[in-house]
Amino acid sequence: METKDAYKAKFEARLEQAQARLLLLKAAAKEKTADGTIAVSKRIDTLERSISEAKANLAELAHASEDKWVGFKAGLEGAWAAMADSLTLDTGSQTKSDDPKK
């Protein structure tokens, strides 16, 4: 069974990857035409909200007791799955390490 600290570290690494992809999306938005920028900007807004929610969930996990952290794990996995589609850039550069089941 995975420990709370190990899971927290793994999710923090995923969050860092999401933030890096967010920066790449922002850079891509600067290169797009006006129509493309609007579409990418919507993805950026969605991803920023998702990252913010994930950070809040991670903070809750950090304060969860050992017997209750498993419930937070399920919530974090759900949040990650919802965010995963937003992490894929137009070039399709999502990596296998983005898979929350790994």
| The two structure tokens encoding residue 72 | 């937070």
Reduced 3-state DSSP string for 3-23: CHHHHHHHHHHHHHHHHHHHH
Residue with the larger pLDDT of the pair 19 and 92: 19
**Spatial CA neighbour of 28 closest among 19, 39, 17:** 39
The pLDDT tens digits of the residues spanning 50-101 come to 888 888 888 888 888 877 777 777 777 877 777 776 666 553 444 434 444 4
The answer to whether the beta carbons of residues 8 and 61 sit under 8 Å apart is yes
Is pLDDT above 80 for 46?
yes
Is pLDDT above 50 for 32?
yes
